[in-house]
Structures are given as structure tokens and as C-alpha cells.
Amino acid sequence: MKPWITLVLVLACSAVGVAQSGPSPLGLVPTPVPGLSATVWVERSQYTVGETARIHFYISQAAYVYLFDIEPTGNVRLIFPNPYSPNAYRPAGAHVLPDQPTYQFRVTLPTGQETVQLVACTQPLAMPMGTYADPYPLLGPDPESGRVAVLGLVPEPSCGCCVTAWTTFQIVQATSPGFWPCPPCWGVAPCPPCQGMGYIAPGVGWFWRPSGGWQFFVGECPSGPGYCWYLGSDGQWNFKIQLCFGNCP
């Protein structure tokens, strides 16, 4: 395990997803469960269509965990457990999904506010598992049917066996490719191999590795220590310094 530390100097979309407030999006009103609490969050408050997202959650004691995705349309999908990660029972502590390299959470249309709601229970629930062809099944043909399906699967609040938490984020369209100014050169790192203007699409960037010089990439900054410039969905250049302590490459 390599302990990485990333210093984000300029990152327009670095805020985590918005924490819960107000009524539960799915209408769940479970009573408090002694010893069991849960939180859920994503790494940013905004994602561009086509990006992948990671979902973090924390449970104070071992429990059966279920995650529902509520699309901007209101439709509800079960995204965890799924055929690629079918075990809902999780030990106490912090977790991150995807937890297997065999699946991803890729952001898709439509744009708008997306909600992820977690339900953690001391007993297993009879959730309909998706298939490898459709790993995140719709729970009903419309938003109301989806909510009714979830309410029918989660025990009554009087059972005192389930808690819930949720978070939201915004889905936006990617900025169209076009001619953009090259990243600025501030003198804190080698200047990217780009001068003046260039035809650049959001998500592209340059990564400077001390052992290997500049690397052009599309998507996430490569791992390892170095300097990373990348163009965000808002058309702004972002700069990260990645440090490594311990067994570094």
C-alpha cells in the first residue's frame, strides 16, 4: 500500500457532495437504532457526464448496506449490492465504492441533481439483485413506483433495525472541445509542453513525473508523485501537486 497525499492548489470542483438535510428523498423515516449510525458522501459537488464517481460511506457497526441512486428524473436504481459486488454485509468503519475493479459508477444524462441514499440495517433485506447485463436495475417504471418499491422492501420504522443517510451532487454537460489557452506557467513546476492556444477537450491534461518527464493524458491524473495540469468541465485549468511517502515508484 502506497500512502499518497494530493495537494490541490486550484480545483474548481473539489467540494464533496452536499450532506443530508430535510426529509429523506425516498420517504424513509426509520427510528434511531442504538449503536448504529451512517453517513454517505461523494468526492465532489459536481460531475460531468461521462466521468466516473466514487461513493464513500461510514457505518458505526457492522450492518447490511444498500445504496440507491435517485436520478434527476426521480427514477430510483439499486446500485449496491450488485452482481459485481453482491455482499451487502459490511464491517464497521469507512468504505468506498466501487470496491472491485470489475465495475464503475459512470455519470450519465440527464443533467441536474442526483441523490445517493444509503440504508443500513441490522438484518438483510430482500433486495432485487441486478444482472451482469443490467447491474443497476430500475425499481419501478417511474419515480413513484421506485419509491413505493423501496418502502415495501425496508421494514417499518417500528422495527428499530434500519438507519438512512443521503447526499446529492450536480450532473453537468461537458464543455465542448475548442481552442483554449495553454495552462499558465507559475514557476512552481516545469511548464507544460504547450504554448499559446491549442485545440483541447475537457478532461485532458499533462502530468510531470520527476523520473520520466511530461505525460499527456485524458481523464484522471496519473497516480504517483508529480505535477498535474488538467482542464475541468468549467473550462478552467486545475493544478495538483501529488506527493508520495513510503514505498514510492
- The string of DSSP codes covering 165-186 is EEEEEEEEPPPPPEEEEPPP--
Same domain? 44 vs 138: yes
Pick from 37, 55, 23, 25: which is nearest to 162 by CA?
A: 37
Using an 8 Å Cβ cutoff, are 48 and 111 in contact? Answer: no
pTM over 0.85? The answer is no
Cis upstream peptide for 110 (omega within 30°): yes
Same domain? 164 vs 210: no
> Using alpha carbons only, what angle is made at residue 48 by residues 44 and 51, rounded to the nearest 5 degrees?
85
Same domain? 165 vs 193: no
Does residue 43 belong to any structural domain of this protein?
yes
Same domain? 186 vs 133: no
Same domain? 205 vs 139: no
Confidence of residue 3 (pLDDT cuts 50, 70, 90): very low
- For the segment 57-74, the average pLDDT, to the nearest whole number, is 96
Which residues on neighbouring strands pair with residue 133, listed in sequence order? none
Whether the per-residue pLDDT at 111 is higher than 90: the answer is no
Using an 8 Å Cβ cutoff, are 119 and 48 in contact? Answer: no
- For the segment 133-161, the average pLDDT, to the nearest whole number, is 89
Same domain? 50 vs 146: yes
Confidence of residue 9 (pLDDT cuts 50, 70, 90): very low
Give residue 117's pLDDT: 96
Using an 8 Å Cβ cutoff, are 27 and 147 in contact? Answer: yes
Same domain? 226 vs 167: no
Between 152 and 19, whose confidence is greater? Answer: 152
Residues 6+ apart with CB under 8 A from 64: 88, 89, 90, 120, 121, 122, 123, 124, 125
Domain, as residue range, for 114: 13-172
Backbone angles phi, psi at 145, to 5 degrees: -65, -40
Does residue 60 belong to any structural domain of this protein?
yes
How many structural domains is the chain composed of? 2
Confidence of residue 200 (pLDDT cuts 50, 70, 90): low
Does residue 6 belong to any structural domain of this protein?
no
Pick from 223, 187, 204: which is nearest to 5 by CA?
A: 223
Given 129, 147, 172, which residue is the final one in a domain? 172
Burial of 11 (0-12, 13-18, 19+ CB in 10 A): middle
